[in-house]
Amino acid sequence: MIDGFENGSNIPQQIALFPQDRQPPRELQDKGIDGLKVKLDQLTLHRPRQWGACWLVLQLWKLLDMNAFWEPKLPPSRQGTLWLELLQVHLCNRMIDPGAEWYIHRHWYRQTALANLLGLEPEAIPKNALCAHVVAAKVTTYCARTRRTATLQKTSGGSTYH
């Protein structure tokens, strides 16, 4: 079953797909579900993309409320670089198919549905592969600053923190 749209309609309808040589069951018609016969020998797939794993990583991101944590620390740059989204892209890559930054830009990102899932343009990853290093540097700087602050707070209270 898939959801489809009639021409000009904004309301999705359920459609059941069947090979051309089979008849849709009568029960579907009774429920108001259309059956669509598909010529499997002529079916082609264009621009297949990784969707499920990307969606799952982004669901984990939401579950851990990472936006609330990272958004204030990674605002967009004056040039419009979306650091938070770049961090999400790099996190997805590290969890799904770890690769070099040039691989993310040149190959991997285009094979995923991250542009759709994050609401980005298909070519949203900057061509400058160093952006990953900038994101990593921003994250590392924040983490180091946080550790240093925690260390100073513990030390000033009379105990040491390692």
Residues 79 and 145 in one domain: yes
Is pTM beyond 0.85? Reply is: no
Question: Is residue 125 within 8 Å of residue 107, measured between CB atoms?
Answer: no
pLDDT over 90 at 57, yes or no: yes
Strands, E assignment, 25-122 = 34-38
- Distance between CA atoms of residues 56 and 142, nearest Å: 26
Residues 59 and 122 in one domain: yes
At residue 129, the pLDDT reads 38
Residues 34 and 56 in one domain: no
Residue 14's domain spans which residues?
A: 2-40
pLDDT tens-digit map of 97-149 = 887 777 887 788 888 888 889 988 777 665 553 455 566 666 666 666 665 55
Residue 112: inside a domain? yes
58 vs 138: which has the higher pLDDT: 58
Residue 72: inside a domain? yes
Per the structure, the count of domains in the chain is 2
Residue 135: inside a domain? yes
What distance separates the 2 farthest-apart alpha carbons in the chain?
80
